[in-house]
Amino acid sequence: MQQALAAAERLSEGDVLEVLTPLMPMPLLSALAERGFQAQATTLPEGGAKVIIRCLARGASVNHGPAGA
């Protein structure tokens, strides 16, 4: 989860990241939403999930990290 969040933090506005996980990553989806990212997860037939993460905006109104960072 931490690697996916770190990778998402490096995205620029309009970028998309695809992450494969062994399970449906509900905590990751919540953390991404809290940081202002759009994420969609789909279950894979062979098991696990694919998560598509989109960076919609990198403005002042979107929190992408700890306060003061």
pLDDT tens for the chain, 69 residues long, are 999 999 999 999 999 999 999 999 999 999 999 999 999 999 999 999 999 999 988 653 344 444 333
The answer to whether residue 34 sits within a structural domain is yes
The CA distance from 52 to 69, in Å, is 25
The answer to whether residue 60 sits within a structural domain is no
The answer to whether residue 30 sits within a structural domain is yes
Residue 22's domain spans which residues?
A: 2-54
The answer to whether residue 36 sits within a structural domain is yes
pTM beyond 0.85: the answer is no
The answer to whether residue 62 sits within a structural domain is no
State the total domains in the chain. Answer: 1
Q: Token pair for residue 16?
A: 């998309």
The answer to whether residue 21 sits within a structural domain is yes
Order of strands across the sheet that contains 16-21? 16-21, 49-54, 38-43
